[in-house]
Amino acid sequence: MKDKIKKYILPILIIFFSLLFWKLTDKAPNRACDKLTEDIQRLDLQAIIINKFEDRKNHGHETVVTLQQNVQTTLYLIGDISGLYDSICIGDSIYKNVNTMDILLVRDTLQMKFTVDFDCENLQGW
């Protein structure tokens, strides 16, 4: 009886717990990505870019700080594939309506439209 347990049940349990662990950890990056998307969607911006940096203390995440009516807002553009972060310059104006991922970036007479996309479907993890 003990030989059967060692031979059949133990490998089955190992496979079961391995699959369970894989399934639970596989969703973590997408949950983080979904949270970033929700955070951007909630924003209502009519602001000026006052800082742009890769946050070395926070895994080098692409970070933008805006100022709107004396209130600073920090945008985390971690994994965004729209090109927004690379296009931003300090002093640009940034406009965004609530419940959308669309952003209008204005510099002098130049207007650039972006749709923030964290590519959640293809996210492998951070």
The CATH number of whichever domain residue 66 belongs to comes to 2.40.50
Tell me if 5 is assigned to some domain: no
Predicted TM-score of the model (pTM) = 0.73
Domain range for residue 115?
28-122
Q: Would residue 97 count as lying in a domain?
A: yes
- Tell me if 43 is assigned to some domain: yes
Q: How many domains does the chain have?
A: 1
pLDDT attached to residue 26: 53
Residue 119 pLDDT exceeds 90: no
Q: In what order do the strands lie in the sheet with 93-96?
A: 71-76, 61-68, 45-55, 93-96, 102-107, 110-115
Residue 87 within any structural domain of the chain: yes
Whether 2 maps to a domain, the answer reads no
- Give per-residue pLDDT as tens, 34-68: 889 999 999 999 999 999 999 888 778 899 999 99
At 126, the pLDDT band (50, 70, 90 cuts) reads very low
Q: Is residue 4 in a domain?
A: no
What contacts 42, CB < 8 A, 6 or more positions away? 98
How confident is residue 77, by pLDDT bands cut at 50, 70 and 90?
very high
pLDDT exceeds cutoff 80 at 16 = no
Q: Is residue 10 part of a domain?
A: no
With respect to residue 47, please indicate whether it lies within any of the assigned structural domains.
yes
Express each pLDDT in 86-118 by its tens digit: 999 999 999 999 999 999 999 999 999 999 999
